[in-house]
């Protein structure tokens, strides 16, 4: 068998409870992938990431090709062995990072010519080269090279961008060598335009991929518009393949997207927030810089069973942040990733039990009430 296995064990409305079987293990879906940009989930050991319940992480083609280099990674046994993460890895194609290098890149039909942000060296990232790098990295799931359509954007600009991405997707597929347990995902583009999203989804299906991602969202369009795009895009994706919403997002975004048929997520939010004194808790977020935590020995979240909530109080975390101690980021990131993985498990259980509507009602009510100590949002 080539490619990956994906089975759905339960549905609740459009939401799906599934399992992905990959070369390096199984992933229960809906799943959240912590972002390990440069071969590390920031402020965490791989063992610590696994202990939060994460079964798959995301690596970044752009950063890894520049440092330590794809050839070196292959020589050293691939990213799994290099970073001591034996579970599945998905790599993005590098497109998004290259497109954020405004002024340092030139886009053409062939690919993207760009200068490294590290040393200014010139690189040519084509669909074929992106696939080759991801193979050298050893990722279980590779992504096609696409152009991340900007925002705001006209329909004509979105069409031009989407059609280029579709041609690149076909080239990516052509360059990809199928192997058992490994897969290649196509990326639906088309911004907020229903006809473009439909056309993109249909084009990708004709090419044929192991999974289908929705790209070009969480770029400034807002949650309501993002949900609208999912409402008219997901029905055009093959029901028997995994659906991945790239770069999303906040807990409320994830809950709403799962209800619309999304199976996979990644976002820097839980890790970046952990390094900037923000904790995700029942009802919203806490800013641990806030002076009112200085004498509070209660845990971040009384309902959380993570080791941080079991062993440390808010006062200590506040002190670490004030003292500029790196342990602050480590503990808050541990808690945040645990919060996200607990959210995913609760979503999986709700779908399996047919109680997703009740789960969403309770989640929304908690978000409106704010964190347990009565301060809304606490930013």
Query: Which residue(s) pair with 10 in the sheet?
Result: 17
With vertex at residue 208, the alpha carbon angle to CA 203 and CA 214, rounded to the nearest 5 degrees, is 60
How far apart are the C-alpha atoms of 15 and 254, rounded to whole Å?
12
Give 337's Cβ-side CA count (13 Å radius): 32
How far apart are the C-alpha atoms of 32 and 53, rounded to whole Å?
10
Question: Does residue 219 contact residue 150 with C-beta atoms inside 8 Å?
Answer: yes
183-188/141-143 β-pairing: parallel
Domain span at residue 34?
5-266
pLDDT computed for residue 100 by the predictor? 79
Which of 266, 290, 305 marks a domain boundary?
Answer: 266
Q: Say whether 327 sits in a helix, a strand or coil.
A: helix
pTM (two decimals): 0.96
Q: Which sequence positions are flagged as catalytic? A: 92, 266
Do both 254 and 278 map to the same domain? no
CA dihedral 103, 108, 111, 115 (to 10 degrees): -20
Residue 30 within any structural domain of the chain: yes
How far apart are the C-alpha atoms of 346 and 257, rounded to whole Å?
15
Residue 121 within any structural domain of the chain: yes
pLDDT computed for residue 148 by the predictor? 87
Do both 350 and 223 map to the same domain? no
Residue 154 within any structural domain of the chain: yes
Edge-to-edge order in the sheet of strand 31-34: 31-34, 264-267, 243-245, 211-214, 183-188, 141-143, 89-92, 57-60
Query: Running DSSP on this structure, what letter comes out for residue 234?
Result: G
* CATH assignment of the domain containing 137: 3.20.20.105
Q: What are phi and psi of 45, to 5 degrees?
A: -85, 155
Which of 209, 235, 266 marks a domain boundary?
Answer: 266
Do both 86 and 33 map to the same domain? yes
122 burial via Cβ count (<10 Å: 0-12, 13-18, 19+): exposed
How far apart are the C-alpha atoms of 74 and 338, rounded to whole Å?
31
Number of domain units in the chain: 2
Question: Does residue 116 contact residue 98 with C-beta atoms inside 8 Å?
Answer: no
Do both 81 and 190 map to the same domain? yes
Query: How big is the chain, counted in residues?
Result: 379
Do both 152 and 190 map to the same domain? yes
CA-CA distances (angstroms) from residue 17 to 26, 30, 140, 218, 259?
13, 6, 21, 24, 11
Do both 127 and 219 map to the same domain? yes
Residue 378 within any structural domain of the chain: no
Residues with Cβ within 8 Å of residue 308, at least 6 apart in sequence? 299, 300, 331, 332, 334, 335, 338
Residues with Cβ within 8 Å of residue 302, at least 6 apart in sequence? 309, 372
Do both 258 and 285 map to the same domain? no
In order along its 379 residues, the chain shows pLDDT tens digits of 469 999 999 999 999 999 999 999 999 999 999 999 999 999 999 999 999 999 999 999 999 999 999 999 999 999 999 999 999 999 999 888 887 777 788 999 999 998 888 898 999 999 999 999 999 999 999 999 999 888 899 999 999 999 999 999 999 999 999 999 999 999 999 999 999 999 999 999 999 999 999 999 988 889 999 999 999 999 999 999 999 999 999 999 999 999 999 999 999 999 999 999 999 999 999 999 999 999 999 999 999 999 999 999 999 999 999 999 999 999 999 999 999 999 999 999 999 999 999 999 999 999 999 998 645 555 5
Which of 266, 288, 319 marks a domain boundary?
Answer: 266
How far apart are the C-alpha atoms of 57 and 39, rounded to whole Å?
10
How far apart are the C-alpha atoms of 276 and 289, rounded to whole Å?
9
How far apart are the C-alpha atoms of 41 and 73, rounded to whole Å?
17
How far apart are the C-alpha atoms of 190 and 61, rounded to whole Å?
23
């Amino acid at each position: 068998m080539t490619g990956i296995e994906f089975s759905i064990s339960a549905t609740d409305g459009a939401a799906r409870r599934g399992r992905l079987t990959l070369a390096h293990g199984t992933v229960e879906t809906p799943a959240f992938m912590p972002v390990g940009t440069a071969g590390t989930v920031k402020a965490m050991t791989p063992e610590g990431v696994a202990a939060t319940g994460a079964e798959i992480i995301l690596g970044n083609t752009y950063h890894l090709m520049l440092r330590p280099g794809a050839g070196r990674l292959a020589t050293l046994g691939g990213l799994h062995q290099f970073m001591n993460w034996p579970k599945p890895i998905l790599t993005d194609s590098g497109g998004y990072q290259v497109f954020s290098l405004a002024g340092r890149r030139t886009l053409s039909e062939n690919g993207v010519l760009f200068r490294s942000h590290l040393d200014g060296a010139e690189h040519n990232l084509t669909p074929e080269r992106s696939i080759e790098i991801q193979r050298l990295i050893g990722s279980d799931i590779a992504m096609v090279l696409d152009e991340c359509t900007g925002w705001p954007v006209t329909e004509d600009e979105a069409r031009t961008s989407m059609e280029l991405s579709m041609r690149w997707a076909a080239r990516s597929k052509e360059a990809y060598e199928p192997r058992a347990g490994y897969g290649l995902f196509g990326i639906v583009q088309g911004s907020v335009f229903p006809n473009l999203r439909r056309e993109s989804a249909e084009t990708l299906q004709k090419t044929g991929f192991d999974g289908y991602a929705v790209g070009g969202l969480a770029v400034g369009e807002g949650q309501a518009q993002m949900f609208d795009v999912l409402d008219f895009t997901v029905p055009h994706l093959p029901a028997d393949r995994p659906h991945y919403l790239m770069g999303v997002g906040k807990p409320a975004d994830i809950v709403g997207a799962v209800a619309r048929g999304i199976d996979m997520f990644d976002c820097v939010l839980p890790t970046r927030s952990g390094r900037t004194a923000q904790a995700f808790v029942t009802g919203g977020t806490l800013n641990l810089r806030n002076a009112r935590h200085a004498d509070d020995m209660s845990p971040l979240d009384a309902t959380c069973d993570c080791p941080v909530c079991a062993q440390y109080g808010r006062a200590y975390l506040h002190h670490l942040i004030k003292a500029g101690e790196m342990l602050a980021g480590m503990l808050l990131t541990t808690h945040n990733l645990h919060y996200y993985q607990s959210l995913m498990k609760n979503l999986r259980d709700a779908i399996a039990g047919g109680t997703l509507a009740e789960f969403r009602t309770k989640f929304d009510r908690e978000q409106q009430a704010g964190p347990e100590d009565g301060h809304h949002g606490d930013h």
